[in-house]
Amino acid sequence: MTILGSTGSIGKQALDVVRNHPERFGIEVLSAQNNCDLLINQAVEFKPNAVVIGNPEYYQRLRDELKHLPVKVFAGQDAIAQIVEMEGPDIILNALVGFAGMIPTYQAVKSGKPVALANKESLVIAGELIMAEAIRNHTPIIPVDSEHSAIFQCLVGETMRSVEKIYLTASGGPFRGKSRIEVEQAGILEALNHPNWTMGSKITIDSATMMNKGLEVIEAHWLFGLSPEQIEVVIHPQSVIHSIVQFADGSMKAQLGVPDMRLPILYALGFPERIPADLPRLNFADYPMLTFEQPDRELFRNLPLAYRTLEAGGNASCILNAANETAVQAFLDGRIPFMGIPSVIELCLESIPHLRQPGLNDLLTTHYQTTEKAIQIISEQSWKS
């Protein structure tokens, strides 16, 4: 397999799966953006055919450290996008974060290689284009997000015409049950303190703002061909039920398991087979109560913003994603308060021209225009915690 983003949270857990199943999985390509040290260690352990470092500044060091191994070394964003087209891998796991993962996903589906997709932003930004290429080239896209993996598993053996709606479950994040004042005054460490999952900083902040769930709504629309009205978000604090499908006869299927991302990773890599694994088992005695709540859409404005862009179509979700990426980084850098994140997104959605049928170049332009606009908004606004 090829793992894009092997030094991130999903990438490291995927390599743990590979480590525990050496008889089934081998590594063709590993890629990272800046974490050269860890990429070197991974290359030494797994001995891939090639490695790619997104930041060219690390190219010479990476090459020098791996010169004793038969490992090809490449650098740059274009190399990451091009490496997915090389012969060799049976499946490509895209575990990149944010906009950076979109072009590699697009190139992979064009080349006809099965994609295990953990980069939800690919479909948020360019879902219509990517799914069209996937259909045209008969390219399987197997979701890795725990929620979409759950829906995917519940749909095995079913027909989409029998699906009435789906429920994407959300933990509620670190601010579930908090007052507006508490959320408005939240600091970086509080926002990064997720109650159930261990993830990278960007996705953890997205979980705290509920943008992560909004992006998942958009991703589910494209993956499963469902209308916005057929996708509902429900807060499930225990994170045991990963998502639910409701069928036309009123029956439901749910996929359950402990909150461990290695489970959906293993399922995606082994599909259609279920590979036996020594991973934690769900003990119902540890969860005597499974509870559900409605999300607070007034406090967590990013969720309705995601539905709004899905309804608008075109490049609206691309604007949403670019504004969010910029705003989240500004929050992590201490330049805007927590509640400034949805404010930046709303202002960008009002400022960037809406295109109804964008091509790939239009989406790239939209991303960069929105990023510049978000940076301007962040610098000009008088932010107060």
Which pLDDT tens digit goes with each residue over 310-331? 999 999 999 999 999 999 999 9
User: What would the mean pLDDT of 172-199 be, rounded to a whole number?
Assistant: 86
Task: Tell me: pLDDT of 253 over 50.
Answer: yes
pLDDT digits (tens, 9 = 90+) for 263-285: 999 999 999 999 999 999 999 99
3-state secondary structure of 130: helix
- Give pLDDT tens digits for 97-139: 999 999 999 999 999 999 999 999 999 999 999 999 999 999 9
* 60: CB partners within 8 A, 6+ apart: none
Q: Which residue has the higher pLDDT, 195 or 36?
A: 36
Two tokens at 107?
């190139």
Average pLDDT over residues 78-96: 91
Question: What is the distance between the alpha carbons of residues 204 and 220, in angstroms, rounded to a whole number?
Answer: 20
pLDDT number for residue 86? 84
CA 17 to chain centre: 19
pLDDT band with cut points at 50, 70 and 90 for residue 232: very high
Superfamily of domain 2-143 in the CATH hierarchy: NAD(P)-binding Rossmann-like Domain (3.40.50.720)
Q: For 129, how many CA atoms within 13 A lie in the half-sphere containing its CB?
A: 23
Structural contact between residues 2 and 25, judged by C-beta atoms closer than 8 angstroms: no
Question: How large is the average pLDDT for residues 358-372?
Answer: 97
Cβ-based neighbours of 222, under 8 Å, separated by 6 or more: 123, 127, 128, 130, 131
Residue 384 pLDDT greater than 60, yes or no: no
Half-sphere exposure at residue 195, Cβ-oriented, CA atoms within 13 angstroms:
14
Residue 226 pLDDT: 97
Compute the average pLDDT of residues 10-22. Answer: 96
Which band of pLDDT confidence, cut at 50, 70 and 90, is reported for residue 81?
confident
- The secondary element (H helix, E strand) that includes residue 235 is strand 231-235
The Cα-based distances of 309 to 81, 125, 214 in angstroms read: 27, 11, 10
User: What was the pLDDT predicted at 300?
Assistant: 95
What is the model's pLDDT at position 197?
67
Which DSSP string do the residues of 299-351 spell out, in sequence order?
A: TSTHHHHHHHHHHH-TTHHHHHHHHHHHHHHHHHTTSS-TTHHHHHHHHHHHH
Displacement of CA 323 from its chain's centroid (Å): 16
Provide CATH 1.10.1740.10 ranges for the chain. 313-385
Does the pLDDT value for residue 354 go beyond 90? yes
Residues of the chain with CATH 3.40.50.720: 2-143
User: pLDDT band at 198, cuts 50/70/90?
Assistant: low
Q: 0.75 exceeded by the pTM? A: yes
pLDDT over threshold 80, residue 385 = no
Mean predicted confidence (pLDDT) in 345-352: 98
Residue type for position 14: A
Residue among 330, 322, 328, 324 nearest 381 (CA): 330
**Of 185-189, 198-202, 284-288, minimum mean pLDDT range:** 198-202
Q: Which CATH architecture has domain 313-385?
A: Orthogonal Bundle (1.10)
Positive or negative torsion for Cα 146, 147, 151, 154: positive
* CA-wise closest residue to 324 among 186, 214, 191: 214
> pLDDT category, 261, cuts 50, 70, 90?
very high
Q: Would you give the DSSP letter of residue 276?
A: P
Q: What is the pLDDT of residues 20-69, one digit of tens each?
A: 999 999 999 999 999 999 999 999 999 999 999 999 999 999 999 999 99
